[in-house]
Amino acid sequence: DVAVADLTLASDDVMYILSNLFVRRLSKTGDTWPPPEPRVRTLLDSGHTIATPLQNPELEDWVIVGDAGQGKVAYADFSQVPVKFEPAPEDRIGVPVLGNVHVIFDDGFEYNKTIYAASHNIGRTSGKIYRWVIDKSTSWDELEPPNSAFYGLAQQNDVLYGAWRAAILANIPPGVGVDRSLFPRATVPPTANLEWDDLTEGLITGVVFTREPSSLKTSSNDDVNLWAIDNRNYNWASNNGTGCLWAYTDT
């Protein structure tokens, strides 16, 4: 048996499973998923989230992993033999606010090698969204979203979204929502180039988007749909729809 911390689909036929310190690759055969290939150690102290890119560079097969608690990230190209997670443990630079790390690839990763990480500290009061370019960055770019303590990242049509727990802006009554950047690849500083705003319309006080390992998902047809689960015990009969699935259509 494999203990699953998180998983990601690289395609209809390829799945990666994060199991604490290891990543396993599965390749679908016909209508079945055979046993996973030999596991690969991330050399992180734990495993929290895993992601694959929308499109890989030609002949490459990338995976990124974020850890639980230490603010570290590791990535590997599974087309290489042997597979090796980088940077080396002694060279890994944690994000500025340590905590559980949520990771995704930029939509244009195939040509820009850009990844994003977001964190929240143990007190659920701080943590931002950060950017790194593989083989180029020497420190994390802090993208300075309006709010703090992030529990999920997503990107659709090049727009970056992050679900947060701690409101920094005083004019957000619900105390929960999603921050959005239209230009997440913009040069920083200044962070004004990123054009951040927050999506809170329709949310009510008490909702908490703190599901682990990721509280935010997206889908799209003509518009982008955001999906987040209120991380309280489900009770539809309550006056405030406790524990419900929330949706936002970003047009």
Note every long-range contact of 206-209, with CB atoms under 8 Å and residues 24 or more positions apart, other chains counting: 206/174, 206/232, 206/240, 206/242, 207/174, 207/176, 207/232, 207/240, 207/246, 208/165, 208/176, 208/232, 209/151, 209/152, 209/163, 209/164, 209/165, 209/176, 209/177, 209/178, 209/246
Could you say which DSSP state residue 3 is in? -
How many structural domains are present in the chain? 1
pTM > 0.85: yes or no = yes
3 state SS of 193:
helix
Does residue 133 form part of some domain?
A: yes
Does residue 235 form part of some domain?
A: no
Sequential pLDDT tens for the chain (251 residues): 788 999 999 999 999 999 999 999 999 999 899 888 899 999 999 999 999 999 999 999 999 999 999 999 999 999 999 999 999 999 999 999 999 999 999 999 999 999 999 999 999 999 999 999 999 999 999 999 999 999 999 999 999 999 999 998 777 878 899 999 999 999 998 888 889 999 999 998 889 999 999 999 999 888 999 999 999 999 877 767 789 999 999 98
- The pLDDT of residue 43 is 97
Does residue 214 form part of some domain?
A: no
Does residue 226 form part of some domain?
A: no
Both tokens of residue 218? 């997206």
Distance CA(221)–CA(250), nearest Å, equals: 11
Half-sphere exposure of 233 (CA within 13 A, CB side): 1
Give the other-Cβ count within 10 Å of 60's Cβ.
Answer: 13
- The pLDDT of residue 110 is 97
N-to-C CA span, the chain: 43
Does residue 162 form part of some domain?
A: yes
Residue type at position 101: V
Does residue 73 form part of some domain?
A: yes
Distance CA(37)–CA(19), nearest Å, equals: 13
Residue type at position 220: S
3 state SS of 110:
helix
Distance CA(56)–CA(107), nearest Å, equals: 10
* CATH code of the domain containing 58: 2.120.10.30
Does residue 229 form part of some domain?
A: no
- The pLDDT of residue 131 is 98
Does residue 242 form part of some domain?
A: no
Distance CA(99)–CA(155), nearest Å, equals: 21
Both tokens of residue 248? 């936002």
Peptide bond into 174 cis (omega under 30): no
Give the range of the structural domain holding residue 148, as residue numbers without chain letter.
Answer: 6-206
